[in-house]
Amino acid sequence: MDKVRFGVVGAKGIGRTHMESIVSCGNAELVAVADINEAAGKEAASKYGVKWFMDYEKMLEQKDIDAVSICTPHFLHCNMALKALEYSKNVLVEKPMAITVREADKMVEKAKTTGLKLGVVFQYRTFPVNREIKRLIDGGEIGKIYRVVMEACTFRTQAYYESDAWRGKWKTEGGGALINQTIHNIDLLQWLVGPPSKLQGQIGTMYHNVEVEDIASATIRFENGAFGILQVSIVDALDTSRLEICGEKGKIESNGEHKRAIMSKPLKECIADKKVWGGRPESQWLEIKPKTEEKGGHATVIKEYCDAIIAGKEPPVNGEEGRKSIEIINAIILSSFEEKTVTFPVDRDAYDRLMRSLSEKEMRQK
């Protein structure tokens, strides 16, 4: 195999990006699209010269499809992925891979038992500057991490939520700002810093007429001992995107500009000074420059996913990796509603009970 033949389910929105990226990749080929919206499906099929299916399962029956790209509303991701795996198709699913961590568990297990490749789209990991930050951290450039702050605050109007009936509801979107807009940032946070051991979260709905959160925060303790603060929202008309990672040898800041500072001597030596109260080490700020001109994004995700299938290897972001951000998001929501610290792994039963309760409350209010 030198090309992976794709069927895309979901012809609108992010599905368009997937189709454009597939046809731009030398190791991928678009052969079919499925969408219950006849106009959207036929338009995409005509544009790319591929077959259109209204029935997703009919598309899965096609022998000339190696992988399925899932670009549908959140609540459909799990069942569509499981069905594709049953039909012996590899699966690339848009974020979030599922609404609950238990759904993600099912997807991971199914991929393992079938021996097929489950990939999740987290294009922030492909951006060259983020890969360079990852290389610096893993290489010990800033030493042991002890503190991290991430702010991911952007803006959506009420029109955004009213554009599709599934948005803004617990049962169909699975959350708000956390699971939709800032899941990329949360994935990046745990990819760079490591897995959390426990957290306390708060969520709220401040301004939008929706069930789900439009603002959230969490204090996080990571397995490596680091302390973290996460703030997210979709009510900030003036966007804020900031990442600060502090280590015992230096610091990384990313807020539009990307830079690092390395101290002249390690933090522990500075603190141990018994003569000078406020003595700080010398440091120098340096720009973080990627070693490539590539831009990253969906095309890179798809190329690397196809590379993995062709080579018989695991995708860079497989099901286990994709599940990590879902578990953090579930933990923040569970912590907020139960008003307590949540430890990892997240209690699947407790979270499922919470989701059932929120969905039933939604139905009673209709």
pLDDT of residue 292: 82
Do the beta carbons of residue 144 and residue 248 sit within 8 Å?
A: yes
pLDDT of residue 225: 98
Do the beta carbons of residue 235 and residue 228 sit within 8 Å?
A: no
Taking the model in full, what pTM does it have?
Answer: 0.95
Q: Which domains does the chain have, with CATH numbers?
A: 4-124+297-318 (3.40.50.720), 125-292+325-365 (3.30.360.10)
Low-confidence ranges of the chain (pLDDT < 50): 366
Strand (E) or helix (H) holding 40 = helix 38-48
The tokens for 182 are 């800032």
Q: How many Å apart are CA 68 and CA 246, to the nearest integer?
A: 40
Strand (E) or helix (H) holding 71 = none
Do the beta carbons of residue 288 and residue 252 sit within 8 Å?
A: yes
Amino acid at 123: Q
Exposed/middle/buried for residue 194 (C-beta within 10 Å: 0-12, 13-18, 19+): middle
The closest alpha carbon to 83, from 49, 106, 54, belongs to: 106
pLDDT of residue 60: 99
The tokens for 243 are 């990442």
List Cα–Cα distances, 72 to 36, 78, 95, 102, 150, in angstroms.
11, 10, 10, 19, 28
pLDDT of residue 38: 97
Q: Which residues contact 66 (CB under 8 A, 6 or more apart)?
A: 1, 4, 5, 6, 89, 90, 309
pLDDT of residue 281: 82
Q: How many Å apart are CA 162 and CA 208, to the nearest integer?
A: 11
Amino acid at 178: L
Do the beta carbons of residue 254 and residue 133 sit within 8 Å?
A: yes
pLDDT of residue 319: 99
pLDDT of residue 284: 87
Amino acid at 13: G
Name 241's bridge partners.
Answer: 152
pLDDT of residue 360: 84
